[in-house]
Amino acid sequence: MAARGVQQLKQVTSQHEGFLRHSGFRWLKIALTISLLAIVVYAFDDVQPRPNGGSAYGYFLGTVGLLLILWLTMLGIRKRAMTTGRWSLKAWTSAHVYLGLSLIVIATLHTGFQFGWNVHTLAYVFMMLVILSGIYGVTAYAALPRALSNNRGETTQAQMLDNLRMIDRQLHDAAQPLDHRYAEMVRMSLDDDPFGGGAWARLTSHYPRCGTRRAQAAIRQVTGPNARIGDDPLEKIDVLLERKQASLSRMRQHLRLKALLEVWLYVHVPLTFALIAALFAHVFAVFFYWG
């Protein structure tokens, strides 16, 4: 029995081979070979007075790097068509990741370690930022989904929002008999957009202008000095706000994890196009001025 269980487990794990370990790390091996080869040739290429992108090998590396960048960008188109087999999307993604990493070596050797405040280094910096965001993306995809599911428990996003809406309705009903002044306090919470606060608030889960917290603070300022407990309708509001607070914080953690999972693409994709534009300017400048 136990043996069969283990066997089943093995099968399951082999079926879940991710894009990183696709085909026994085939593309990792290819990328490493390319990088190593590039380094060895660089070491033996005697460019005087010092290595630069304008040497024969420099032009070669630059051309390879340019074509590689354009091919890597094609993943954006390729990913919209899922296929299987040797040229499956998974294989393509695996190649994208590892060949993308090998660009660090190829492009750095292309620079000949000459950097400056110019369009050439700008293209390099964009490329490195794209690669770094990609590395972050792979790491985030590996680590964050587990945290996301832990935080969510069994609830779905829709349920999270419904829960919030239910509390809001209760708050709204409970506040009906209240004076305008108190009603305004409750409205601070009700009118607050749970999805507001901007990108930074999402990424940090830090909401300094949270309406619910402000509402609760205002209510407590009123009820604080009040000795009577239980018969004040504001007490009920306070309890509801407390519940809303708890519900919000869980949702915000969810939003944060989701944002952390998604944010790299907002660097990776737009900067890729910035890179292609800078690359165009780089190549244009080279052909414009020559050596």
- The DSSP code sequence of 262-276 is HHHHHHHHHHHHHHH
Is residue 289 close enough to count as binding other proteins by CB under 8 A? Answer: yes
Find out whether 190 and 172 touch, Cβ atoms under 8 Å.
yes
Tokens 């108190």 correspond to what residue?
182
Alpha-carbon distance of 45 to 56, in angstroms, equals 10
Which string of x and - marks every residue 199-218 that binds other proteins (by CB under 8 A)? x-xx----------------
Among the candidate windows 13-21, 101-109, 111-119, 227-235, which touches other proteins by CB under 8 A? Answer: 111-119
Window 226-265: residues binding other proteins (CB under 8 A): 254-255, 258-259, 262-263, 265
Q: What is the DSSP string of 172-213?
A: HHHTTTS-HHHHHHHHHHHTS-TT-SHHHHHHHT--TT-HHH
Q: Is residue 278 involved in binding other proteins (CB under 8 A)?
A: yes
Eight-class DSSP state of 86: T
Minimum distance of other proteins from residue 227's CB (angstroms): 26
Assess contact for 151 and 254: CB atoms under 8 A: yes
CB nearer to other proteins: give 24 or 290.
290
- Using CB under 8 A, which residues numbered 21 to 80 contact other proteins? 46, 48-50, 52-54, 56, 59
Q: Which is nearer to other proteins, 9 or 199 (CB)?
A: 199
Taken as a whole, the chain contains a residue count of 291
Interacting positions 77-96 with other proteins (CB under 8 A): none
- The verdict on 277 binding other proteins (CB under 8 A) reads yes
CB nearer to other proteins: pick between 59 and 87: 59
Give min distance, CB of 206 to other proteins, in A: 13
Using CB under 8 A as the binding rule, whether residue 169 contacts other proteins is answered as yes
> How far is it, in rounded angstroms, from Cα 4 to Cα 122?
57
The pair phi, psi for residue 83, each rounded to 5°, is -135, 175
- The C-alpha atoms of residue 48 and residue 57 are separated, in whole angstroms, by 12
Give 85 or 198: the residue with its C-beta nearer to other proteins.
Answer: 198
Among positions 64, 75, 119, 217, the unique one binding other proteins when judged by CB under 8 A: 119
Min dist. Cβ of residue 146 to other proteins (A): 18
Q: Which among 92-100, 130-138, 171-179, 214-222 is the span making contact with other proteins, rule CB under 8 A?
A: 171-179
Quote the CA–CA distance of 101 and 47 in Å, as a whole number. Answer: 26
CB of residue 212 to other proteins, shortest distance in Å: 10
**Closest distance of CB 50 from other proteins, Å:** 6
Considering the rule CB under 8 A, would residue 184 count as an interface residue with other proteins?
Answer: yes
Integer CA distances (angstroms), 54 to 49, 68, 90, in order? 12, 19, 36
The answer to whether 211 and 184 have CB atoms below 8 angstroms apart is no
- Least distance between other proteins and beta carbon 216 (Å): 15
